[in-house]
Amino acid sequence: MTPFAVRRVGEDERAALVVHFLALPMRDRCLRFGMSLAPTVIAAYVDRIDFTRDAVFGVCDDRYALVGIAHLVLENDVAELALSVLPEHRARGMGSALFERSVAQARARGRAEVLMRCLAGNTPVARMAHRFGMSIVSVGGLSDARLALAPAPQTSAMLVEPLAAGACGAMTLGCGLQGT
């Protein structure tokens, strides 16, 4: 697996997030958001992201464009995760690297579980959920993939939190989740 520089995406990068989501083919946008959304609705979604509560991670290409995004909503005990990777950057482990970074953040922030909610036909999310040992329950047209998290050691929170929004540093991930 190729390691990717997964970095925290800051509030000042909202426009780049919109560009990323609009670059997704329409079918992928539907899989990412659960329905086909107009560009103005996607822009409104990005405007509502709470960067002080949530964590947004990204991977950039060689032109510094965001080509992979993870949005980790940290509103409750359960952290909800949504991922998107542009088609030309898939099948290289980028989604897994974003997933691993997000799970590490959720654990460090004291969440008990990570949830990925998707349309029942979202094969890429289902494959990822199986790969990382998530339990999947489908009801109607929706599937919930859940991963229970063990509490983080105290040092883990100290290592993850300094990568605050807008930080220039990157965290390179290419290893599997072990012990989760």
Q: Which CATH fold would you assign to the domain 4-173?
A: Aminopeptidase (3.40.630)
Note the pLDDT tens digit of each residue in 66-125: 999 999 999 888 999 999 999 999 888 899 999 999 999 999 999 999 988 888 878 888
Q: Hey, what are 23's tokens?
A: 């670059």
Domain ranges of the chain: 4-173
Are the C-beta atoms of residues 160 and 108 closer than 8 Å to each other? yes
pLDDT digits (tens, 9 = 90+) for 51-83: 999 999 999 998 999 999 999 999 888 999 999
> pLDDT at position 2, please?
55
φ, ψ (nearest 5 deg) of residue 167: -65, 145
Residue 35, classed as helix, strand or coil, is: coil
Q: Tens digits of per-residue pLDDT, 134-168?
A: 888 988 888 888 899 988 776 544 445 444 444 33
What would you report as the CA-atom Rg of the chain, rounded to the nearest whole angstrom? 15
CA-nearest of 33, 173, 2 to 99 is 173
User: 171 by DSSP, 3-state: which?
Assistant: strand
